[in-house]
Chain A
């Protein structure tokens, strides 16, 4: 049985929930237990993983690709080669911002067992500087959207990652900073449980 191993760290909780919402059904969860993680993946791995009996699938894009093959009728990476390239390009851009937020959140994450940066260091703010200009790029492509979702009439992994990004930003209190006009329209049309739950 396919299971998601989702750490309790909220960026990955947001991502797990968005993947459920994209598929329209919750993926089974692997027990959130350190021993389980060590059994399936490297002992230091603290991020999301997809378990299916064989080697674990790690990394957000790899999980999206595996889900696409597991649920081919959902078309979560588009339909034809051009459409699939468009979804993958969106994902590539969105996940960079997601990682920015993950890095900016490091001081609050207790799992690494080592000193983190001090209050007032400016490190978090410097990391977050990477986000708005990248969001401007997403907005450029979202402004050209002619379909309900970022690329087509069905939710793709790009939409799921965008929902996870916005919810992670909301957790950090910077959600409104990320929303641009076209992205606000996307959130209004596709948030509020249809299919995503987006807190801004």
Chain B
């Protein structure tokens, strides 16, 4: 198998965290800078017409795209240790938390790129925040509600759900200036707990990252 990644951005990092926590043998990995068009070459587009990372190429030549699908595929092949729940009850909780994690980030990122001058290509439209912020706040509250007092999102061990959410927070904290809603203290503690897990990869953004991000997504004044 071979994995196409771009380590600084959050979606591929979900798979990176999953692999680190799952403990699978290392998979050959190649980096493709999405800001520099490295996923838009004919060779890459033949693998994934959507020009996104991550992409997992299987030994028999299939290209699996989307982090969620890649993690499930690897769970299908390597069910132990289980990262999507050891029982039906936990599986449902993992699936729920994973779905909510993705929904949170989507609402948050879509809002942010249109309301933050640094990230918006054109004049920011602040009204989007008035209307869309309730969506991601409700989703975050629901994630906290489902987690209850468990150490991880779906149980006592980290699962795919934690891999879906942690990189989203890691990135939004570093790049978007996200802060945890103050009443969701358990989520803040959960974040610190995942960060302290052995093997949890650190997000390292060098100086060129923000220049490339702005060139790709934002604008200078």
Contacts and interface: CB of A to CB of B under 8 A. Distances in A.
Interface of A: 41-42, 44-46, 54-63, 65-66, 69, 81-82, 84-86, 88-89, 92-93, 95-96, 99-100, 102-103, 106-107, 112, 114-118, 121-123, 126-127, 130, 137, 140-141
B96 interface: yes
Nearest to A114: B134
A112 B77 CA distance: 43
A56 B62 CA distance: 35
B217 interface: no
A95 B101 CA distance: 13
Interface stretch (B24-32, B64-72, B170-178, B190-198): B64-72
Interface string B53-88: 000001000101110111011001100000000001
B216 interface: no
Contact of B66 (A65, A84, A89, A118): A89
8 contacts: A45-B142, A58-B100, A62-B99, A69-B88, A103-B111, A121-B125, A130-B110, A140-B50
Tell me what chain A mostly uses at the interface: helix, strand, loop, or mixed: helix
Interface size class of B (residues with CB under 8 A): 35 or more
A112 B134 CA distance: 7
B203 interface: no
A189 B16 CA distance: 39
B92 interface: yes
B96 A57 contact: yes
B1 interface: no
B132 A85 contact: no
Contacts of B146: 55, 58
A46 B205 CA distance: 37
Contact of B142 (A41, A66, A115, A141): A41
Nearest to B68: A92
Nearest to B132: A103
A62 B101 CA distance: 11
Contacts of A69: 88, 91
B125 A116 contact: no
B135 interface: yes
Nearest to B95: A62
B96 A59 contact: yes
B47 to A, nearest CB: 13
B128 A123 contact: yes
Contact of B110 (A61, A88, A127): A127
